[in-house]
Amino acid sequence: MPQPIGPAVDATPRPLPPRVPLRGRYAVLEPLHRRHVAELWDAAQGADDSWAYLGCGPFASMEAMGHYIGGFAVEQDRMVWAVRPVSTGAASGWLALLDIQPKNASIELGSIWFSPAMQRTRAATEAMFLLLRLAADELGYRRLVWKCNALNAPSKRAAERLGFVYEGRHRWHMITKGHQRDTDWYSILADEWPRCRDALAAWLDPANFAPDGTAQRGLAELRAQLSDIACRPAI
């Protein structure tokens, strides 16, 4: 009797993400480059706590940040973008696609640093959406991954807000800045992505925001509404 081996899938290797700019309504993503250093250094002032769970930073000088970015921007195992909110015009953070596995159609959104002024803004949400949409819709990746330090509560909330599903914890996974790190894993699979994508697009729609800038419907609410619509019987 044949052994169970799982369903057959399209095993065509997916393309690598291109190092190209991406433009949204609230944010522009530009391939990270040393020319971004001065703006990113300005954005990082007074924000030492924002580096707590990252493997880099805070930096003692603009030169030190520039040295790091010079290498980080050209790493071959990840594609990194600087984020330029349209509202300010100044590069205020970065994020990456990494752990890129074309043969497994799996890719991670990570290495995220947003300045405090950019956190919890429409530009921040759209920056992540642009890369998720690039990976899933344009490049055809079937598994979108989010990993974070198990102690990083804001990152875990961000993953769940975007629609990532908790998968489990890798215990004693890494040593970061001399400290032990357990890592929590999350994912969005291909059949889950359309609902997450449509909820993100609806959340980012200008019509979703009150005159004071407050979102009228949250992402969880929008996903639930889309799920309810999908489950209604056809008439």
Q: Is residue 212 part of a domain?
A: no
Q: Give the dihedral of Cα atoms 189, 190, 195, 196; nearest 10 deg.
A: 50
Q: Which two tokens stand for residue 98?
A: 């990494």
**pLDDT-derived band at 173, boundaries 50, 70, 90:** very high
Q: Is residue 190 part of a domain?
A: no
| Neighbour count for residue 56 (Cβ, 10 Å) | 15
**161: Cα within 13 Å, side-chain hemisphere:** 15
Residue 210 near residue 216 (C-beta atoms within 8 A): yes
Q: What is the mean pLDDT of residues 163-168?
A: 98
Residue 16 CA to residue 160 CA, distance in Å, equals: 26
Range of the structural domain that residue 120 is part of:
22-185
Given a cut of 60, whether residue 235 has pLDDT beyond it is: no
Q: What is the pLDDT of residue 227?
A: 79
Look at the chain and report how many structural domains it folds into. Answer: 1
Residue 176 CA to residue 56 CA, distance in Å, equals: 9
CA dist 64 to 31, 50, 228, Å? 20, 17, 51
Element at 181 (helix H, strand E)? strand 179-189
| DSSP single-letter state for residue 212 | T
Q: What is the pLDDT of residues 40-78, one digit of tens each?
A: 999 999 999 999 999 999 999 999 999 999 999 999 999
Q: Is residue 177 part of a domain?
A: yes
* Domain harbouring 174, CATH code: 3.40.630.30
Residue 59 near residue 164 (C-beta atoms within 8 A): no
Residue 35 CA to residue 12 CA, distance in Å, equals: 36
Q: What is the pLDDT of residue 233?
A: 59
CA dist 96 to 5, 60, 72, 100, Å? 33, 23, 10, 11
Q: Is residue 221 part of a domain?
A: no
Q: Is residue 168 part of a domain?
A: yes
